[in-house]
């Protein structure tokens, strides 16, 4: 059994009031928010963190990408992979990733935007809409059980 978190960055690990900046001068990542996700993941068990954020378009050796991975790794989080998508069809990218990783049988999506997620009930029921991870709420009126559990853990550690 394998659990995955599809992770957006902006609006999840930061908000518009975040002061921290990346090496290239963009809105940075708040350690307190990484800490919440790290603790929730540890409590959930064996978890793959998959980058679905636009940060995935950065090259591996880009200063900002190195900044991202070091912020995550400082708290024990490693990126297992990233999705690929076009025209903001982030849900399609996640479905493709799931297709090529059949070992993942439970997952949640952390994102502050809805994109195309509503087109796919399986994704919509596992989407936690954020305004900063500590203010995550269910997208769906009928959330999947892993979304219910994971949101509980987020609240526990917020």
The CA-based angle 116-73-59, given to 5 degrees, is: 60
CB of 43 to Mg ion, least distance (A): 24
CB of 112 or CB of 125, closer to Mg ion: 112
* Burial class of 78 by CB neighbour count within 10 A (0 to 12, 13 to 18, 19+): exposed
Q: Does 8 bind Mg ion (CB under 5 A)?
A: yes
CB of 138 to Mg ion, least distance (A): 17
Q: Does 11 bind Mg ion (CB under 5 A)?
A: yes
CB of 112 to Mg ion, least distance (A): 4
Q: Does 85 bind Mg ion (CB under 5 A)?
A: no
The correct pick among 4, 10, 115, 144 for binding Mg ion (CB under 5 A) is 10
Which tokens go with 50? 């998959």
CA distances (Å), 75 to each of 33, 69, 81, 89, in order?
11, 10, 17, 30
Residues that bind Mg ion in the complex, under the rule CB under 5 A: 8, 10-11, 112
């Amino acid at each position: 059994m394998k659990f995955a978190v599809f992770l957006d960055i902006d609006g999840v690990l930061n908000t518009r009031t975040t002061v921290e900046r990346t090496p290239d001068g963009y809105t940075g990542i708040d350690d307190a928010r990484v800490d919440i996700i790290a603790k929730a993941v540890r409590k959930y068990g064996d978890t793959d963190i998959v980058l679905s954020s636009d940060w995935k378009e950065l090259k591996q050796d880009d200063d900002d990408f190195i900044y991202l991975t070091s912020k995550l790794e400082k708290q024990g989080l490693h990126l297992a992979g990233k999705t690929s998508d076009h025209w903001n069809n982030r849900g399609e990218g996640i479905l493709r990733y799931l297709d090529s990783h059949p070992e993942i049988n439970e997952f949640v999506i952390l994102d502050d935007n809805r994109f195309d997620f509503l087109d796919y009930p399986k994704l919509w029921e596992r989407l936690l809409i954020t305004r900063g991870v500590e203010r995550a709420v269910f997208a769906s009126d009928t959330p999947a059980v892993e979304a219910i559990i994971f949101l509980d853990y987020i609240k526990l550690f917020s």
